[in-house]
Amino acid sequence: MINKVKKFVDKHDMIQSGDKIIVALSGGPDSICLMHILNGLKKQFNLTLYAAHVNHCLRGKEADEDEEYVKNFCRKIGVDIFTKRVDVNAIAKRDKVSSETAGRNARYEFFYELKDKLQADKIAIAHNKNDQAETILMRLMRGTSIEGLKGIRPIRDEIFIRPILFLSREEIERYCAENDLKPRIDRTNSENIYNRNRVRLDLIPYIKENFNPDIVETLYRFSDSITRDENFIEIIAKEKYNSLCSNRNGHIVIDNRLKDEHEAIATRIIRLAIHKVYGSLKDIDSVHIYEVLSLLSLGTGRKINLPKGIVCENVYGDLHIGLENNRELNYKSEYNICEKNDLAGGKKKSVFISEAKITVNLEVKPNDKQIDFDNEVLTKYFDYDKISYNVTVRYRREGDRLCPLGMKGSKKLKDLFMDLKIPKEYRNSIPLLCFDDEIAWVLGYRVSNKFAVTKDTNNILEVKIVKGE
């Protein structure tokens, strides 16, 4: 089994020699199998392994026993484990989301925190072949695109890896039994309380019995086939996206020449635009994409609202796609990203800001490396030595000013927004990167002249923003 996993890992270039990997460890069969196998590959890849466990405080004593189990398991195999307790129900109530969503958000925030703390390279998740089949069926029933039918991918964002995605649940359980791992069993997985559980417990067994006993394998192969074809079409769509779309005033503008494109390409361009604005396509279905496409034939000023606060508007024939400023959101006035000294010695910093749905990645580099300053809009470079104390992210305040790069003197942020023709409804939701409480970067727009890199700069601070949950 370990050799099979290694072949899958090599095929998708998931792991490099010397990687530090955090394993999401719930204590169930999937994650225990994953940890045990990666521990078996540790010497071959020269890996450093860590475990991350979140106690959701949903199942009382059982959840506490899960936590104790994973601690003992990691102690036996010599892996450091980091645990966190979160009141998922309280978070769900506060954020007005389901307990599933709240739990997932809490886990991923913890993973990002650990990745930053441990300077880890990858986060390993224990999705398997059955998870893939369930995901594809759920997306089919909800309505999805060809992109959605690719299902769960082996690698996401070059960070999250799924080394046992090709293994069935039966193979995983057999591996656990053969190696006497005795994983924990979450009784809620056997209850029809979530849609995914109903697909797993009712729908797939029904299909196996009445239509196709190999439905899990069939859907897995279907996903692979879809992925090959979709990846090729996506290359064409991205070329068209680059020629038709521009990032303007905090949102994506699609030229009205979109109407001349084949529907298969046009819908993909819209998906790319939404992904660029929001960072993911979560809760965006095919019906939403076609609603946006239909705006092309309507008059200027016509607008539709999509999930996640995404707004699409016809502006003189062009499509404008952006995030609606929800005034009910409680944007925190300031987020402390790090102290200046936290980045000394080549350390990296990565902080997820849930309200803005962005991850701020920072790294200091000497000014003797080849750096491409003509990069995409969400990566910028600053003179690290001009920072005195700290790095923060906040939203605009009354009287904010900026010294825009290439200009002499300062300018009111309000006037800058007006010059850039940023709609009023977007202005309060634009994050501001600050050094020592001075605005260094209006994210997605202008940077400050005060912290600009010059020929005399010794150390360069690279700031990269990644959008998405």
Return the residue matching tokens 């699609």: 254
Closest to 323 measured CA to CA, from 429, 442, 444: 429
How large is the average pLDDT for residues 365-371? 75
pLDDT of residue 161: 98
- pLDDT > 90: percent of the chain: 64
Give residue 316's region: left, alpha or beta (phi > 0; psi -120 to 50).
left
pLDDT band at 330 (very low <50, low <70, confident <90, very high): very low
All structural domains of the chain, each given as residue ranges with its CATH number in brackets, are 2-127+162-211 (3.40.50.620), 217-323 (3.30.465.60), 334-467 (no CATH)
Residue 386's nearest CA partner among 450, 296, 314, 307 is 450
Residue 181: CB atoms within 10 Å: 15
pLDDT mean over 402-424 = 84
Q: Give pLDDT tens digits for 300-318.
A: 778 899 998 899 988 768 8
26 is in an annotated binding site: yes
Alpha-carbon distance of 17 to 116, in angstroms, equals 20
Provide the sign of the torsion angle of the four alpha carbons 350, 351, 352, 353, taken in this order: negative
User: What residue ranges in 19-138 does DSSP mark as E strands?
Assistant: 20-24, 48-55, 80-85, 122-124
State percent of the chain over pLDDT 70: 94
> For residue 371, what pLDDT band results from cuts at 50, 70 and 90?
low
Q: Would you say residue 375 has pLDDT above 70?
A: no
What pLDDT, on the 0 to 100 scale, is given for residue 326? 40
First to last CA, the chain: 33
φ/ψ of residue 123, rounded to 5: -125, 120
Distance CA 356, CA 395 (A): 10
Answer whether residue 11 shows pLDDT above 50: yes
Q: Which residue has the higher pLDDT, 333 or 269?
A: 269
- 30 a known binding residue? yes
Question: Region 212-230: what's the mean pLDDT?
Answer: 96
Separation of alpha carbons 137 and 152, rounded Å: 12
- How far is Cα 166 from Cα 129, in angstroms, rounded to an integer? 5
pLDDT tens digits, one per residue of 170-182: 999 999 999 999 9
The pTM assigned to this predicted structure is 0.64
Q: Tokens standing for 179?
A: 């190696």
Mean pLDDT of 383-388: 94
Say if residue 374 carries a ligand binding annotation: no
Task: Output the pLDDT for position 218.
Answer: 97
Mean pLDDT of the chain: 89
Q: What is the pLDDT of residue 58?
A: 86
Q: How confident is the model at residue 328 (pLDDT cuts 50, 70, 90)?
A: very low
Distance between CA atoms of residues 123 and 279, nearest Å: 19
Q: Number of helices (H) and strands (E) in the chain: give both, helices first.
A: 15, 21
Distances (CA, A) of 333 to 57, 71, 355, 427, 437: 30, 38, 11, 14, 12
pLDDT higher than 70, residue 425: no
Query: 75-116 pLDDT, tens per residue?
Result: 999 999 999 999 999 999 998 888 888 899 999 999 999 999
* Ligand-binding site membership of 388 (annotated): no
How does 42-67 read in b/e, with b if 16+ C-beta sit within 10 Å?
beebebbbbbbbbbbeeeeeebeebb
Residues 147-169 have pLDDT tens digits of 889 999 999 988 999 999 999 99
Query: Between the CA of residue 14 and those of 6, 18, 47, 331, what are the distances in Å?
Result: 10, 12, 12, 37
The answer to whether 250 is annotated as binding is no
Amino acid identity of residue 92, one-letter, is A
Which run of H or E residues covers position 42?
helix 42-45
Half-sphere CA count of 452, side-chain side, radius 13 A: 13
Q: What dihedral angle (degrees, nearest 10) is formed by the CA atoms of 314, 320, 322, 324?
A: -30
Place of tokens 């995983």: 172
What is the average per-residue pLDDT within 55-65? Answer: 90
